[in-house]
């Protein structure tokens, strides 16, 4: 028996590139083997890696943004090629030919930004970045369709209030930024 959520995910995965499908299948098989084997016993190499990571963290050594991007790049085969906006939507063109649309309401900082600020986007292998807006959006979250719901849970009430204020001002005819 499959849950509704698993069924929905499996339908989405059918559109993934073959390499990504195989990577997920390998992960699922490893997970399945773990369920059948009982408690997981890490290898000596895995334990050494955990110890190294804990030591590095205790000493304040963390991965650079470039190292994080390189790690994600191994698993992300789809990247953004361009971004454009209309009055209510952000449109992201991808390397595989798809175009994703996401409501600006999902991203209060973009919703409140001027068109010139929105155009200052930096594209990377893992997502979109607006330095002046302090906004980052991953391609993975856009592909999952949960970019707005995940972000909404993390947004502060201050940003929510700002977006509500800007939207109210726009509806009253006082601003063209929204």
Q: What is the pLDDT of residue 106?
A: 87
Q: What is the pLDDT of residue 153?
A: 43
**If you average pLDDT over residues 87-107, what whole number do you get?**
90
Max mean pLDDT range (45-49, 105-109, 113-117): 113-117
Q: What is the pLDDT of residue 24?
A: 79
Distance CA 52, CA 128 (A): 31
- The whole-model pTM stands at 0.45
Q: What is the pLDDT of residue 75?
A: 62
pLDDT interval class at 156 (50, 70, 90):
very low
The helices-and-strands tally (H runs, E runs) of the chain is 9, 6
Residues 6+ apart with CB under 8 A from 96: 17, 77, 78
pLDDT at 117 over 50: yes
Long-range Cβ pairs for the range 153-158 (8 Å, 24+): 155/108
118, exposed or middle or buried, with CB in 10 Å at 0-12, 13-18, 19+? buried
More confidently predicted of 84 and 9: 84
Do 137 and 128 meet the contact criterion of CB atoms below 8 Å apart?
yes
Q: Tell me how far CA of residue 65 lies from CA of 105, 126, 151, in angstroms.
A: 28, 11, 20
pLDDT interval class at 81 (50, 70, 90):
very high
Copy the structure tokens of residue 93. 């063109």
Q: What is the pLDDT of residue 92?
A: 95
């Amino acid at each position: 028996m499959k849950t509704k959520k698993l069924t929905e995910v499996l339908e989405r995965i059918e559109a993934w590139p073959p390499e990504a499908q195989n990577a997920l299948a390998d992960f699922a098989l490893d997970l399945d083997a773990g369920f059948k084997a009982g408690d997981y016993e890490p290898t000596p190499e895995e334990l050494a890696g955990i110890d190294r990571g804990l030591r590095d963290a205790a000493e304040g050594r963390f991965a650079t943004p470039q190292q994080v991007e390189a790690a994600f790049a191994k698993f992300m085969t789809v990247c953004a090629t361009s971004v454009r906006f209309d009055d209510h939507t952000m449109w992201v063109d991808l390397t595989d030919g798809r175009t994703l649309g996401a409501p600006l309401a999902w991203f209060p900082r973009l919703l409140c930004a001027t068109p010139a600020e929105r155009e200052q986007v930096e594209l990377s292998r893992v997502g979109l970045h607006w330095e002046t807006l302090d906004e980052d959006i991953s391609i993975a979250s856009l592909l999952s369709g949960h970019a707005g719901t995940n972000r909404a849970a993390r947004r502060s009430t201050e940003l929510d209030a700002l977006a509500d204020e800007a939207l109210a001002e726009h509806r009253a005819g006082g601003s063209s930024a929204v």
